[in-house]
Amino acid sequence: MKTRLPPLRPGKAVSAARERLAAWLREWNIEQALAAKTYPAPLAPPARPRAGRCRPARAGDVRLLRPDTPTGLSRPRYFLVLHIVGARAVVVPFGRFSVPAIPGEWRTEHPAAPLAILCLWNRRELPLELVERSWPVAQFGPEQLEIANRLADDAAPPEEAPPPELAAQVGPPLRHPDDPRWRYLIEEAEAWDLLEDWRQEPARTLMIFESRAGLYGAGPAAELPLAAEPKPEFGKPSSPDKHPRGKEKPNKPA
């Protein structure tokens, strides 16, 4: 008589990792299906715009690449400035899915969907000039920035399981050679590789001004501000009793 072995049941940690992987694969498959369809090509911005705007960068800034930047037109690309060293800025991109793909991607719990996943594995140095041409849209508070720096320093390789205390906030390990996450990692790395040696065309004129950004972690949740919000007074109709230069409007002859 044969002895029947009890069925093997995965532990809770393994089941949770499988659920996270299945969630990521669903979003990946949707993206691939949409990419296979034919859509009108987006209009590219001028190759040499007349002026660029330079916004001073600082650690904790969340920024959006301009569309006329390499890889900036394919989709919105947000990144976090970890710190600035001389003429270079150490940055970490945000992911394009709402689920972390590997142990090196961290769920930030930020209320804005584009800032949900931070790709710690893709940390890199970019020219400060390029960073300051991007649009600031939000800011990480000191506590969130400290966590991001620590996790970026300790980011696990894609094949290694994350520490148990981080397992619920990061993605599952990557071990199968046919896993589509390998392709995803290559695509994201190549897109940001194009920016490391970026040089600005000398014909562009830079204007520096202070900009407003919502602080993440220091107040109520808020949506990301638009990249080109009008100034408060822009578009406000002038007083009917005033000329544009502030002079009194002359009375019409009777």
Q: What is the pLDDT of residue 228?
A: 60
Q: Is residue 15 part of a domain?
A: no
Residue 222 domain-assigned (yes or no): no
pLDDT at 191 over 70: yes
Query: For residue 44, is it within any domain?
Result: no
Task: Please tell me the predicted confidence (pLDDT) of residue 26.
Answer: 86
Does 37 reside within a domain? no
Decide: 27 and 116 in contact? Cβ < 8 Å: no
Q: What percentage of the chain exceeds 70 in pLDDT?
A: 65
Check: CB of residue 51 under 8 Å from CB of residue 209. Answer: no
Angstrom distances, CA of residue 208 to CA of 50, 51, 134, 160, 253: 15, 11, 12, 44, 47
pLDDT value of position 233: 47
Residue 168 lies in a domain: yes
Q: Is the pLDDT of residue 82 over 60?
A: yes
Average pLDDT over residues 52-61: 83
Domain extent at residue 196: 53-216
Where does the pLDDT of residue 29 fall: very low under 50, low under 70, confident under 90, or very high at 90 and above?
confident
**pLDDT classification of 9: cutoffs 50, 70, 90:** low
Cα–Cα dist 31/18, whole Å: 20
- 145 inside domain: yes
Asked if the structure places residue 48 within a domain, the reply is no
Q: Is residue 40 included in any domain, yes or no?
A: no
Per the model's pLDDT, the better-predicted residue between 245 and 184 turns out to be 184
pTM across the whole model: 0.66
Tokens (6 digits) for 173: 């390990």
Q: Judge whether residue 209 has pLDDT over 70.
A: no
Mean predicted confidence (pLDDT) in 148-171: 88
Longest dimension (CA), the chain: 118
Q: What is the pLDDT of residue 51?
A: 43
Number of domains in the chain: 1
What's the pLDDT band for 38 if we cut at 50, 70, 90? low
pLDDT at position 46: 42
CA dihedral 122, 128, 133, 139 (to 10 degrees): 60
Q: Where does the chain have alpha helices with state H?
A: 12-35, 128-133, 142-153, 181-193
